[in-house]
Amino acid sequence: MSCQTVQPDSGLQIRKAILSDAGNMDLLNRKILPENYPMSDWLFVLGKYPSYSFVAYDEDKLVGYVLGLVVSNEGLIASLAVDKDYRRRHIAECLMGQSLSELKKTFHNVKLNVRVGNTPAQNLYTKFGFTKSKCEKSYYQDGEDGYEMILAF
């Protein structure tokens, strides 16, 4: 799984996230997902785990990100989002692929959580080999159940 499906002729740039991306990541996160974080969390994660988060830009517009970090000596994909106008172009696949290859260098497992109703994201994770390890009742604030998914390298 590579980024070749995204990059040729697309004008998109996919690269490691840096501290100065935090503001744009927060804005896109708030536009797309109900799970939001204080700016201090974005800055903390990007500062402490600089290798596992990636961003996709169309010129100076952030159109996607993946936020990767470490919990209990395992990788965690904490957040992933792609702007609605840029979906189905394999941007998420590229972002995830980059983050997972970095995590794989150090960790044996990567975990994530996903809403039971979020089929697009579950399909994406399954494509990478993630499997459902448990279903947590009312995991999300609005009461929706969540799957924990795990990928063992």
Ligand X SMILES: CC(C)(COP(=O)(O)OP(=O)(O)OC[C@H]1O[C@@H](n2cnc3c(N)ncnc32)[C@H](O)[C@@H]1OP(=O)(O)O)[C@@H](O)C(=O)NCCC(=O)NCCS
Instruction: Name the residues that contact ligand X, by CB under 6 A.
Output: 32-33, 80-82, 87-93, 114, 118-121, 123-124, 127
Nearer to ligand X, 22 or 79 (CB): 79
Measured over the CA atoms of residue 26, residue 27, residue 28 and residue 31, the dihedral's sign is positive
Nearer to ligand X, 55 or 91 (CB): 91
Least spacing, CB of residue 10 vs ligand X, in Å = 12
Q: Scanning the structure block, which residue is given the tokens 């189905």? A: 88
List Cα–Cα distances, 127 to 1, 19, 24, 90, 123, in angstroms: 9, 30, 27, 12, 6
Tell me the residue type at 115: R
Nearer to ligand X, 128 or 153 (CB): 128
Least spacing, CB of residue 122 vs ligand X, in Å = 8
Residue 148 · residue 129 · CB < 8 Å = no
Tell me the residue type at 14: I
Least spacing, CB of residue 23 vs ligand X, in Å = 19
Strand 109-115 with 146-152, pairing: antiparallel
Least spacing, CB of residue 15 vs ligand X, in Å = 16
Nearer to ligand X, 46 or 149 (CB): 149
